[in-house]
Chains A and B, each alone.
Chain A
Amino acid sequence: MKSLSIAIKDLQILFKDRGEVIQLFLLPLLFIIVFSGALGALGGDDEVERLTLPVVDLDGGEAAQSLLAGLDTAGGLRTELYEHANAQAQLEANDINRMLVIPADFTSGTEQGEQVELTLISHPNADLQETEAVRLVIAGVAGELSLESQILASLRQMGDMQANAPEEYQIFTTDRVLAQARSQFELSQTRPLIEVIETIPSKEGEREIVQSIGLVAVSGIAVLFVFGTAQVTARSIYDEKKVGSFRRLLAAPMSKSALLSGKMLPNIIVGLIQFIVIFAFGVFGLKWLGLNAPSLGNEPLSVVLVCFVICLCSTAFGIFIAALARTENQIGGIASLLVWGLGMIGGAFIPIAFLDQFLGPVVKVIPQYWANRALSSLMLRDLGLADVTTEIAALLGFTVLFFLIGLWRFDFD
């Protein structure tokens, strides 16, 4: 109850501070606009240009034909056939930005229900967002094709079984066929037969690029700024001490844990509001404006859970900073380093895959990295809660660590 009074008082003070409100809630939106390329898009032509996609068809079979037809009718893309060597040379010279390779076993593979891979190779200078758009179109068409061929394959399977065992003719009722089709459909959703692999040749090894910058920016900026709120908590504690009101709180009949809870609660509340505001804009607002926007993924509730854990971690971080910093300058210094510096390295604007490659295991000591991994897994790769347990555990680990160090070093005098 008394903790709540402290929290309400702190929120009152916070929302009276216009600069603080702008930094907490408006600045992240501005960043998102810049990084999702909305500024360029808003100023650009209304007419959508069709992108030319060079295709190397090593297969030439029936399935390859329907894939090409599908790509041309899907909108936004125009395929153009290239010789393999020619395409490779042009890509190396960056005369073309990217090319799609249909493997030689494409038709036979899909007919037999085997997994086949389409490879989208892009030049390192190619616009990431454009590549992402192309990939999405290919994945969409491939997905349909995949389903189609899977169902065909299973029907063929049943036909074979039927030929070998005519006495069991009656087993293959319409229900069986439908059930089989449904299970194939579900399979094609989780494990598509045709997989789209993205590669950038000049980079070391071949690597899957998960997302483009524009899409990463929404959750990345949310994480960056929610961790930024730790600075507000640290400063609020510092201010109470400087002004002397902290003495009054200590002299009031209230435990130290109630006092600290009261100082932490606003961080959690503000963090949640930040997530709501940033996602409302970055997920729904951008989409509504017709811009490239991430979704909340397949499990919005898991996103909510992860957001809550991130808010807890940010709060513990605030207590940690308050305990370590003795002066206002130290708070600013520690916060710039840990909140903004590490926050950027931890993936505010950079797809996780890049981070892993450039920074290696170092990023694993940055809490924001785990937060970004969890959110991009859920929101951009459509994974579920089971796939982000490591990330959640890491965040909770940081929370406990920060909190323990914070309590141990906290100066109540």
Chain B
Amino acid sequence: MPAILEVENLTKKYGDFEAVKGISFSVEEGEVFGLLGPNGAGKTQTISMLTGVIPPTSGSARIAGHDIKSDMNEVKKINGLVPQDLALYPTLSARANLNFFGRIYGLGGNELKERVEDVLRIVALTDRADQKIDEYSGGMKRRVNIAAGLVHQPQLLFLDEPTVGVDPQSRNHIFESVQRLNRERGMSVVYTSHYMEEVELLCNRVAIIDEGKIIAMDTVKNLIGILGGGMIYIGLEEVDDALLEQLTGLGGVKEAMLVPPPVAPPLAEGEDPEKETEPVTSNPIVKIVAENSQQAVVNVISFLNDQDRPLTSLEILEPNLESVFLHLTGKKLRE
């Protein structure tokens, strides 16, 4: 399959701050590609560069063979953008909004009319199309927001967190629409989110992005495979290297390691650096990556029992992208 999107070492700097730190990935035609990362990871910045909203600081990208620097006007016709914000005119009706967004892509006359009716059907809002956006529910607004990115029939659709603030029903509807657009119309999709369930459900491949960098990229299955059978966190009173080695040797355990103690949060401006900070829980935590979590839990607990080491805490995590993210960054995707 030829790539519809190839990104090479894309960066975006604001003064000394690097919002995107040299990102490379590619998306194949007909693929739904996920960009998963917490707020502030650089997802929107990346999409904005690829859609011509902001210029990249360095690096390059090609979309359907057109360079985004030299050939942006062609690129823009291929791209569809659904921004993270509800980028609609609140006092106009859904239909007036869609008509307008069609026109700025050069559509007009009957073609525009048909396109608008088509996208209204896709997001199931034909009946209420003449109502003002202001009067819609959050979920309906989100659906119009998606429709507005579809009017000109893009080959490559960028969906930037399209389900934020949406009721479960609209959310399901949005998923179905994306899947149908992809399967029935062959639309390639770049989908950003900080909800791992969405990405797991919709995407073939995922890039996990944090602090402007891609920290892992693979199919959802392979990414979860990093964790094998899941993860177990245990709190102990004291831990030494010998204990970690012994734990690693147990049946069902792939790896055992000490979780680095939480870094003290950066001082707020003007705060006295000498000031005593509240001590965070002092007990060391051991992270165990399991090959088979049930077997690992049983073995680890009976081993610690035999050694007469009391457990201070125990947490078992399913193998999913959330725990992959935690495993790779030591941070949670969402607070």
Q: Choose from B48, B90, B96 the contact partner of A247 (Cβ within 8 Å).
A: B48
Q: Give chain A residues whose Cβ lies under 8 Å from the Cβ of B91.
A: 13, 16-17
Query: Is B104 located at the chain interface by the 8 A CB criterion?
Result: yes
Q: Give chain B residues whose Cβ lies under 8 Å from the Cβ of A245.
A: 87-89
A2–B106 touching, CB < 8 Å: yes
Binds B, one of A39-47, A221-229, A248-256: A248-256
Query: Is A12 located at the chain interface by the 8 A CB criterion?
Result: yes
Query: Is B137 located at the chain interface by the 8 A CB criterion?
Result: no
Q: Give chain B residues whose Cβ lies under 8 Å from the Cβ of A9.
A: 89, 92, 96, 100
Query: Is B81 located at the chain interface by the 8 A CB criterion?
Result: yes
Q: Give chain A residues whose Cβ lies under 8 Å from the Cβ of B101.
A: 248, 252
CA distance A83 to B94 in the complex (A): 80
Q: Give chain A residues whose Cβ lies under 8 Å from the Cβ of B92.
A: 9, 12-13, 16
B75 vs chain A, min Cβ distance (A): 9
Binds A, one of B49-57, B224-232, B270-278: B49-57
CA distance A390 to B56 in the complex (A): 46
B52–A251 touching, CB < 8 Å: yes
Residues of B57-89 whose CB lies within 8 A of A: 73, 76-77, 79, 81, 83-89
CB-nearest residue of chain B to A2: B104
Q: Give chain A residues whose Cβ lies under 8 Å from the Cβ of B84.
A: 244
CB-nearest residue of chain B to A10: B89
Q: Choose from B48, B51, B73, B87 the contact partner of A243 (Cβ within 8 Å).
A: B87
Given A2-B103, A5-B103, A12-B92, A253 contacting B87 (CB threshold 8 A):
no
B83–A254 touching, CB < 8 Å: no
Interface of B is mostly: loop
A249–B83 touching, CB < 8 Å: no
B104–A247 touching, CB < 8 Å: no
Query: Is A175 located at the chain interface by the 8 A CB criterion?
Result: no
Query: Is A6 located at the chain interface by the 8 A CB criterion?
Result: yes
CB-nearest residue of chain B to A17: B91
CA distance A17 to B134 in the complex (A): 13
Residues of A163-191 whose CB lies within 8 A of B: none
CA distance A254 to B105 in the complex (A): 8
Given A5-B100, A9-B100, A413-B54, A252 contacting B105 (CB threshold 8 A):
yes
Q: Choose from B88, B96, B104 the contact partner of A252 (Cβ within 8 Å).
A: B104
Q: Mark A1-35, 1 if CB is under 8 A from B, else 0.
A: 11001100100110011000000000000000000
B112 vs chain A, min Cβ distance (A): 11
Q: Give chain B residues whose Cβ lies under 8 Å from the Cβ of A13.
A: 89, 91-92
Q: Give chain B residues whose Cβ lies under 8 Å from the Cβ of A12.
A: 92, 96
A247 vs chain B, min Cβ distance (A): 5
Q: Choose from A244, A253, A413 the contact partner of B76 (Cβ within 8 Å).
A: A253
Given A2-B103, A2-B106, A413-B54, A248 contacting B81 (CB threshold 8 A):
yes
Q: Give chain A residues whose Cβ lies under 8 Å from the Cβ of B53.
A: 247, 250-251, 413
Residues of B184-240 whose CB lies within 8 A of A: none
CA distance A369 to B92 in the complex (A): 38
B83–A248 touching, CB < 8 Å: yes
Q: Give chain A residues whose Cβ lies under 8 Å from the Cβ of B76.
A: 251-253
Given A5-B104, A248-B148, A253-B105, A243 contacting B96 (CB threshold 8 A):
no
CB-nearest residue of chain B to A248: B87
Q: Give chain B residues whose Cβ lies under 8 Å from the Cβ of A413.
A: 53-54
B164 vs chain A, min Cβ distance (A): 12
A253–B77 touching, CB < 8 Å: yes
Q: Give chain A residues whose Cβ lies under 8 Å from the Cβ of B73.
A: 253
* Residue of B51, B92, B103 with most partner-chain A CB within 10 A: B103
CA distance A52 to B45 in the complex (A): 78
CA distance A6 to B89 in the complex (A): 12
CA distance A251 to B48 in the complex (A): 8
Q: Give chain B residues whose Cβ lies under 8 Å from the Cβ of A253.
A: 73, 76-77, 105-106
Residues of A215-252 whose CB lies within 8 A of B: 243-252
Given A5-B103, A9-B100, A251 contacting B79 (CB threshold 8 A):
yes
A310 vs chain B, min Cβ distance (A): 28
Q: Mark A301-337, 1 if CB is under 8 A from B, else 0.
A: 0000000000000000000000000000000000000
B46 vs chain A, min Cβ distance (A): 14
B88–A243 touching, CB < 8 Å: yes
Given A244-B83, A413-B54, A254 contacting B104 (CB threshold 8 A):
yes
Can you offer 7 A-B residue contacts whose CB atoms are under 8 A?
A9-B89, A13-B91, A244-B86, A245-B88, A246-B87, A252-B104, A253-B106
Taking A5-B104, A9-B96 as given, write out 18 further A-B residue pairs in contact, using a Cβ cutoff of 8 Å, ordered by the A residue number: A12-B96, A13-B89, A16-B92, A17-B91, A243-B88, A243-B89, A247-B53, A247-B83, A247-B85, A248-B149, A249-B104, A250-B52, A250-B53, A251-B51, A251-B53, A251-B81, A253-B77, A413-B54
Q: Identify the 9 closest CB pairs spanning chains A and B, nearest first.
A: A244-B85, A244-B87, A5-B103, A253-B76, A251-B81, A245-B87, A251-B51, A252-B104, A250-B53
